[in-house]
């Protein structure tokens, strides 16, 4: 780690660095739409649509994500039975 690099890049007025746990615990504007299981998320990443799923969820909601996943599976002739998410 380079001492002083963070302050040099972000400026001296930057607050102290926070841990991943602190950042994750921070309250953010938003709502939980669904929980995608790890195995399902891995399949979505392998299909290359992980970013598309996040953007679709933000702008279209759960129904749009479901449509995106179904369409992707149909295009690739894959079964979507194991790609479920809880909402």
For each successive 10 residues of the chain (87 residues), what is the average pLDDT? Answer: 73 75 77 83 88 92 89 78 57
Q: What angle do CA 36, 38, 41 make, to 5 degrees?
A: 65
**Domain segments of the chain as ranges:** 5-86
pTM above 0.85, yes or no: no
What integer pLDDT is reported at residue 84 of this predicted model? 59
CB atoms within 10 A of CB 1: 4
């Amino acid at each position: 780690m380079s001492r002083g690099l963070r302050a040099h890049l972000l400026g001296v007025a930057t607050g102290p660095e926070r841990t991943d746990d602190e950042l994750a615990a921070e309250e953010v504007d938003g709502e939980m739409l669904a929980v995608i299981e790890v195995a399902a998320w891995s399949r979505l990443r392998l299909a290359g649509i992980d970013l598309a799923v996040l953007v679709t969820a933000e702008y279209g909601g759960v129904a749009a994500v479901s449509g995106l996943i179904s369409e992707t599976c149909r295009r690739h002739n894959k079964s979507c039975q194991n790609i479920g998410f809880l909402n």
